[in-house]
Structure 1
Amino acid sequence: MLPHRIASASHIILRMKLKEDLNPMLLFVFHLMVWIYTAITFLPSYLLSWVSTPGEGFYGSEEERAKRVKAYSVLGYPEGPYRAVSATKRLVTSLHPGVDTLDKMFQYAAMRFPHRECVGTRMVISEEDERQSNGKVFKKVILGEYHWLTYKEALTAATQLGSGLSYLGQRPKNNIAIFCETRAEWLITALACFTYNYPVVTLYSTLGGPAIAHGLNEAQVTHIITSRELLETRLKAIFAQVPKLQHIIVVDSAPTTWPGYPSGVSIHNMAAVQKLGARHENATPERQQPLPSDIAVIMYTSGSTGNPKGVMISHSNIIASITGMAERIPNLCEEDTYIGYLPLAHVLELSAELVCISHGCRIGYSSPQTLSDQSTKIKKGSKGDTNVLQPTLMAAVPEIMDRIYKNVMTKVEEMSPIQRTLFILAYNYKLEQLAKGYSTPLCDRLVFRKVRSLLGGRTRVLLSGGAPLSAATQRFMNVCFCCPVGQGYGLTETCGAGTICELWDYSTGRVGGPLVCCEIKLRDWVEGEYRSTDKPRPRGEIVIGGPNITMGYYKSEAKNQEDFFVDENGQRWFCTGDIGEFHKDGCLRIIDRKKDLVKLQAGEYVSPGKVEAVMKNCALVDNICIYANSDETYVIGFVVPNQKQLLALAGQYGVRGSWEELCNSQAMEELVLKVITEAALIAQLERFEIPRKIRLSPDPWTPETGLVTDAFKLKRKELKTHYKEDIERMYGGK
């Protein structure tokens, strides 16, 4: 389907503004210029497109690519199981023969790429407090260049740490926890634990005290690796609740003595533990190598409802998963640079970084607060991490890409009419060329270079996961960042693996075909009226099977029997609870979730996630949560508005007040509701799906507020509690 036929509401609005800004004669002149430009640059652009993507070839028009088969039903039945065309004989389980555990994978990479840069960190040159106009104080930093450890040095650091932990009493197959922000020391620690067969318990750095205590106690952790900040702000308060904890290893340069901490807990610096391990007399006689079936990670989910669950992931699970992911990234090699900033306690980031390690790529570390020149902690005039690192590979959750998209489009709106027209014409021109299967290298350099520089200017692959990515944002990334977006689908229970779009497939709204490490089938869900016999496409609950399916939930046998099963061939399967449909080319589309569907009083089914994905395309909306009560006839919503857009709307209608006063204003609620209703109708939502009443939130939802997870997924239970009074008000006190 051509891009202009699936143009988002924002693109339609841009086209309308184009006509408002220019008179017909001037518009004709610009169209004539574009036609001349196209005619002149066709041949060089065509030749350059071949040169700029060596080995990838020409994949044809978008319509042709969408028809090309990516997966097939093994048995020929509409319910599947579906398997990648490149895995016709068997599912793939490993990258290299004999490399079946993570310690072997790391040693193999260190042997092949001993002197290549492995992990890098920027040093803090200076930091200062900056007072904002509203009185708030933000800490700003100036960072230096990246300092790197080679693969050989990283292997030495990991081996010494593992040996030092052994000296401190850590034993093989005894759980050890990492409770730390994403940084080089996190990965070094994990690689040390994989080498010495210490199962790693991962905990999000933003978890609250009770959730942290739950994970540590359930896994019976005696040793934990953390940062100084998290030790002082989170761990210190729960020592009394985790009696088994004996040793805390702090990754930063920190004091050698720790007054005010319980005497029964020993606190060590990571560097000191590595020195212990480096001493010959303290070296372990012979490390116990893990088996492929041994637990590598117990990954505690972010816990969108209740206590977090620990998912047991074996070495063979991760090896299979990263093998499947790597197959979808063309020309992946040691020349690539990856930027790591998402939580390493999340399966998406951990898998992505291990894919990079397995191929000798270098990983430069960042954070959401220092990612770009405009990030909140970067001092004005200094460089953000992408500018310095210039990554070629990057993973992102849709929330972050949506923000980039809205920020750029807001700046486009602020351009002069001629500048805006040039941008929009170039944008639409490139959309048409992409649909035909052509790249536009000259246009990229002349028009989109500045936008592309926001991510360093060299990004060649963007991986998206964690939530559905809107068509508008995906198209924006394709056009302005001049690279494909590999939208994927996977869960912690499937070790992050499931599907990833082929990077030459620019179709939107789909998550690609199964990876070579797994297969997918659909199971009828009669109650929701989804069946594999549905026309024109088979639909049902997504069930994923293969060597990447994890060992189940830690100490939760009842939940294991509910969500996992083994078939007659001994293959393990996971029931995702998500509803999908398979297209003719073998690509999967996520269309619903069993638990998310709410049946209104009149009998209509509403999918909050679907409505939220559409609403986020509206420039006024930074975040939104749709809520529906089955005893009511309509849905309501909680909205985090975009500050710039809301202030502009208030000014347009003469509504005055502070930011908090505007968000608490009934008049502004009605104005915002009108705007998002129009956007929803343009996007063809049904009337019953559109919220009839909304509540504006003056404060953004961050993991620190406890209203979203570290992956920025909504915590619906917490949001419902937080907005309890507003729900009663919007539903008339019922």
Structure 2
Amino acid sequence: MRLKQDVSPVVVVIFRLVVWLYSLISYLPYLLLRSSDSQTFSECSRRVKARSVSGHPSGPYRDIGALRVLATCLQPGVNTLDLVFESSVCRFPHFDCLGTRDLLSEEDETSEDGRVFKKVILGEYRWMSYDQVYKEVRAFGSGLVALGQKPLKNIAIFCETRAEWIIAAQACFMYNFPLVTLYSTLGGPAIIAHGLNEAEVSHIITSKELLETKLKSILLEVPRLQHIIIVDDKLKSGSEYPQGISVHSMVAVTRLGAHPENASRQRRPPCAADVAVIMYTSGSTGVPKGVMISHSNIIAGITGMAERIPSLGEDDTYIGYLPLAHVLELSAEMVCLAHGCRIGYSSPQTLTNQSTKIKKGSKGDISVLRPTLMAAVPEIMDRIYKNLMLKVEEMSVFQRTLFLLAYNYKMEQLAMGYSTPLCDKLVFQKVRALLGGRLRVLLSGGAPLSAVTQRFMNICFCCPVGQGYGLTETCGAGTISQLWDYSTGRVGAPLVCCEIQLKDWIEGDMSGGLLRREKDQQNKREGSGKSIKGGYRSTDRPCPRGEILVGGPNVTMGYYKNKQKNSEDFFMDEKGQRWFCTGDIGEFHGDGCLKIIDRKKDLVKLQAGEYVSLGKVEAVLKNCPLVDNICAYANSDESYVIGFVVPNQKQLLALAERKRVRGLWEELCNNPVIEEEVLRVITETALTAQLERFEIPWKIRLSVEPWTPENGLVTDAFKLKRKELKSHYQNDIERMYGAK
């Protein structure tokens, strides 16, 4: 992406002259100081990173550092999660481990439309050392034993991301209690009750707020539940709970465990093959499934991830704000704890100075913590990109010109493999400060990241964006791009803990029909680089393509109490290695890097026989400034695609003003003039990105409300829940397809 410049010719000439003089003056010292074996980003990027160990284009592909054997652990003999943490405690006993900000004040703020929002002012971070955390972990685990929790018996955690979550998890790992993780936004009460009953839990760890708002109403539906442990310091007085259920504070359970009589009890440590976590997925389709993850699975996964983050250690600070019940966040924090990093906790509502719960004029968490490491899902990064571009548009002509010239100059330099320290300091320093100013690694996962957003984050935040690919079923591990690889749209080479194979996929769409695969059409498609309409094969040119299969020690034990899905999605090869069939379609490039190009469930055949990749359409259209989120939909009995759009509020209001359309937000979203104008802009974006005509939505519906995990239309990783979205917009689907 090259940003368009609204520039004066004189300014361009002056800027180019300064750049030319700077390049001339700095080039000679660069050549003298550069060591003979050092390489530019572009030279590193061209290296072969993985290759097929069989020599066949289908693979399996392995990282070139793991051609002989796949990595399974960080240190020899350290094969369970309690031993990993104990090793860190021995090496970093007095280093900061977990940090939480003090709540200084809380107040209600009324907006112009009369709605009341809670705003907070937060203080500095309070830190617990590794040694202090270890003592809390041991005492809390001992307290759970005193409350009747048995080894190898499931215990649930249903809680927001916070220090107490990870303390509770480490206690469960230490005392061999399989930890059942549930999203705090998993869904309705019936879904939560289903998970608790299926896992047969008698103890649950939760927060005061979630107990009152979500758990209390279903307690009678969970007959095995006996103990509720609240992570908050104080319990709400006067609350009543069903007979047979005891409610405790985490502090009280920890105090109970620290009592000499309980602390002296022998614990039963886990072994590598024991289940550490049963992680209920957020469920983009159907009822959430519990994925059984062993200690050895998690350790293999974090071993592979750690290898892709250079110089990881006690000088690093990680900001934790994504759901810990998601494999991306849990794995990231486990990597940090294994290397002595410190973790400061946050939330999406308090992350930045502009976050919804931060009182105007006070600082968000990221400004106070100033992390060096951060994980983000593409939805959050897309928002950052669009908000910054809006601010660029509001700049003066001179400021905007300078920014765009600097942006395009840096993009050219990165393409040639060079850094731009002067440009970073003079132009992008303020932008970088929005994420604390010290960020050195930004990891993206959970969904595909658009090339436009990835390039923007690379340039403006002056740090590499490591795009990764993994699933709950593979412990979040699969691939992560090398940090010196500035190419976009790819997810990198396989991690050292796993290998990836491509399986030919030539049939099946959302209606179960057979894909057309006439020979002459296939010949035309080969080498096109576009989404093919007649199948994906490892013999495709120039890149082998197919369904992605992940194999290795990080592949999990399967789904809890679901033999049918286990036999469908997992298998063991002749060497005894487990594999998972992802359902995603990928292609391997010549340097061994993987690109995700499709998903089996996202392919729909239109009435005339054309195949549309809904995910591809959505990825392109989300780059449109008017679009905050979009879901493409197609009915196989119809000849065109339709779409549901969450519009960007600021951009839509500006559009309405230009078109002289007045009204409240809901009235604007339902206005046919606005709808038609948004469709026109979306169509222009699609044509610019070279989508086929049949891939472009013909009709759209503007959504009044955003899609959030709370309203159940997206997962906690902000992936679309297509089944729920279809039900939600059923009347609109019928209207747009002419049934009404």
Q: Provide TM-score, normalisation by structure 2.
A: 0.94
Q: Is the 8 A contact 2:94 2:129 kept in 1?
A: yes
Q: Distance in 1 between matches of 2:20 and 2:630?
A: 41
Q: Does 1:556 align with 2:562?
A: yes
Who is 1:726 aligned against?
732
Alignment of 1:333-412 (within 5 A): 333-412=313-392
What do you get for the CA RMSD once the two structures are aligned?
A: 1.6
Alignment of 1:261-300 (within 5 A): 261-283=241-263, 285-300=265-280
- One-letter code of the match for 1:79? S
Who is 2:147 aligned against?
168
SS of residue matched to 2:136: helix
1:100–1:134 Cα change, 3 Å:
same
Q: Is the 8 A contact 2:587 2:594 kept in 1?
A: yes
Q: Distance in 2 between matches of 1:45 and 1:460?
A: 22
SS of residue matched to 1:537: coil
1:33 offset after TM fit, Å? 3.4
Who is 2:16 aligned against?
31
Q: Is the 8 A contact 1:66 1:507 kept in 2?
A: yes
Alignment of 1:583-662 (within 5 A): 583-662=589-668
1:188–1:46 Cα change, 3 Å:
farther
From 39, 44, 48, the counterpart of 1:69: 48
Q: Distance in 2 between matches of 1:45 and 1:192?
A: 52
Q: Distance in 2 between matches of 1:276 and 1:113?
A: 27
1:643 offset after TM fit, Å? 0.8
1:257 offset after TM fit, Å? 5.2
Q: Distance in 2 between matches of 1:303 and 1:533?
A: 33
From 515, 533, 542, the counterpart of 2:495: 515
1:35 offset after TM fit, Å? 2.8
Who is 2:79 aligned against?
100
SS of residue matched to 2:602: coil
Q: Distance in 1 between matches of 2:674 and 2:23?
A: 45
1:247–1:43 Cα change, 3 Å:
farther
Q: Is the 8 A contact 2:646 2:706 kept in 1?
A: yes
1:460 offset after TM fit, Å? 0.1
1:443 offset after TM fit, Å? 1.2
Who is 1:441 aligned against?
421
Q: Is the 8 A contact 1:601 1:633 kept in 2?
A: yes
1:555 offset after TM fit, Å? 0.2
Who is 1:414 aligned against?
394
Q: Is the 8 A contact 1:337 1:391 kept in 2?
A: yes
- One-letter code of the match for 2:646? V
Q: Distance in 2 between matches of 1:685 and 1:384?
A: 40
Q: Distance in 1 between matches of 2:717 and 2:708?
A: 10
1:40 offset after TM fit, Å? 4.1
From 191, 197, 200, the counterpart of 2:179: 200
1:185–1:480 Cα change, 3 Å:
same
Q: Deviations over 1:291-348 (max 9, x none)?
A: 1000000000011222110000000000000000000000101110000000000000
- One-letter code of the match for 1:575? C
Who is 2:89 aligned against?
110
Q: Distance in 2 between matches of 1:40 and 1:659?
A: 55
Q: Distance in 2 between matches of 1:564 and 1:283?
A: 41
1:61 offset after TM fit, Å? 5.0
From 655, 660, 663, the counterpart of 2:669: 663
Q: Does 1:458 align with 2:456?
A: no
1:314–1:278 Cα change, 3 Å:
same
Who is 1:85 aligned against?
64
Q: Does 1:684 align with 2:663?
A: no
Who is 2:513 aligned against?
none
Unaligned ranges ≥5, structure 1: 1-6
Q: Distance in 1 between matches of 2:147 and 2:379?
A: 41
Who is 2:530 aligned against?
none
SS of residue matched to 1:541: strand
How many pairs does the alignment contain?
713
SS of residue matched to 1:455: coil
From 538, 541, 559, the counterpart of 1:535: 541
Q: Does 1:546 align with 2:531?
A: no
Who is 2:133 aligned against?
154
Q: Distance in 2 between matches of 1:331 and 1:530?
A: 39
Q: Distance in 2 between matches of 1:700 and 1:57?
A: 51
SS of residue matched to 2:218: helix
1:58 offset after TM fit, Å? 4.2
1:694 offset after TM fit, Å? 0.5
Q: Distance in 2 between matches of 1:359 and 1:58?
A: 27
Q: Which range moves more in the overlay, 678-687 or 567-576?
A: 678-687
Q: Deviations over 1:454-500 (max 9, x none)?
A: 11000000000000001111111111100001000000000100000
Who is 2:520 aligned against?
none
Q: Is the 8 A contact 1:525 1:541 kept in 2?
A: yes
Who is 1:497 aligned against?
477
Who is 1:428 aligned against?
408
Q: Distance in 1 between matches of 2:319 and 2:30?
A: 30
1:227–1:61 Cα change, 3 Å:
closer
Who is 1:4 aligned against?
none
Q: Distance in 1 between matches of 2:502 and 2:36?
A: 32
Q: Distance in 1 between matches of 2:458 and 2:671?
A: 38
Q: Deviations over 1:656-700 (max 9, x none)?
A: 111111111010011011111111111111111111111111211
1:433 offset after TM fit, Å? 1.2
Q: Is the 8 A contact 2:50 2:62 kept in 1?
A: yes
User: What percentage of aligned pairs have identical amino acids?
Assistant: 72
1:244 offset after TM fit, Å? 0.5
Q: Distance in 1 between matches of 2:712 and 2:330?
A: 23
- One-letter code of the match for 1:655? V
- One-letter code of the match for 2:618? E
Q: Distance in 2 between matches of 1:58 and 1:411?
A: 38
SS of residue matched to 1:121: strand
Q: Is the 8 A contact 1:163 1:284 kept in 2?
A: no
Q: Is the 8 A contact 1:161 1:189 kept in 2?
A: yes
Q: Distance in 2 between matches of 1:165 and 1:87?
A: 41
Q: Distance in 1 between matches of 2:452 and 2:39?
A: 23
Q: Does 1:318 align with 2:303?
A: no
1:43–1:410 Cα change, 3 Å:
farther
Q: Distance in 2 between matches of 1:542 and 1:568?
A: 19
Q: Is the 8 A contact 1:256 1:268 kept in 2?
A: no
Who is 2:170 aligned against?
191
SS of residue matched to 1:704: coil
1:27 offset after TM fit, Å? 3.4
SS of residue matched to 1:97: coil
Q: Distance in 2 between matches of 1:492 and 1:258?
A: 40
Who is 2:121 aligned against?
142
Who is 1:3 aligned against?
none
1:263–1:677 Cα change, 3 Å:
same
1:253 offset after TM fit, Å? 1.2
Q: Is the 8 A contact 1:45 1:439 kept in 2?
A: no
Q: Deviations over 1:527-563 (max 9, x none)?
A: 2511111111111100010000000000001110000
Q: Distance in 1 between matches of 2:137 and 2:149?
A: 15
SS of residue matched to 1:521: strand
SS of residue matched to 1:703: coil
Q: Deviations over 1:584-620 (max 9, x none)?
A: 1000011111111001111111111111111111111
